[in-house]
Amino acid sequence: MAGSGDVFLTLGEAKAVLRVTFADEDDLIALYAQMAQSIVINYLERATTDSLVLGVIADWDAETVPEGIRAAVMAQLAELYEVRTVAPTLPVPADLSPEVRRYLGRWIEAVIA
């Protein structure tokens, strides 16, 4: 996983993305931010077998992650947070939303190139 556990978004940034001003769901939002990051990074890692590229991805942290990847994490976070109120019988998405997948398409091409 990128950055040995480093989270790309602070809680404050995550809450700003979600436009949440109360503290009631801080733990949930922090968990979703980590989950969104994992989903995005796992998707990128599956897109290549190049050990140099995988090394670059693994070295990303909050300071070095490309802004486009941070934006993808933010979009995935919004998706996860939006479905939090879906009926408990429906699964929470464990893969990229279609919108984030399209957004990362150019990053995948750059990673593979």
Spell out the alpha helix ranges (H) of the chain.
11-18, 26-46, 51-59, 67-82, 98-112
13: left (phi over 0), alpha (psi -120 to 50) or beta: alpha
CATH number at residue 43: 1.10.3230
Q: What is the pLDDT of residue 38?
A: 92
Number of domains in the chain: 1
In the predicted model, is pLDDT for residue 3 greater than 50?
Answer: no
Is 112 in contact with 47 (CB distance < 8 Å)?
Answer: yes
Domain that holds residue 105: 2-112
In the predicted model, is pLDDT for residue 109 greater than 70?
Answer: no
CA angle, residues 52, 58, 59, in degrees to nearest 5: 95
CA 75 and chain centroid, separation: 8
Model confidence pLDDT, tens digit, residues 39-86: 999 988 888 888 888 888 899 999 999 988 999 999 999 988 988 776
Q: What is the pLDDT of residue 64?
A: 92
Torsion of CA 82, 94, 39, 72, to 10 degrees: -30
Mean pLDDT of 4-33: 91
CA angle, residues 78, 81, 87, in degrees to nearest 5: 135
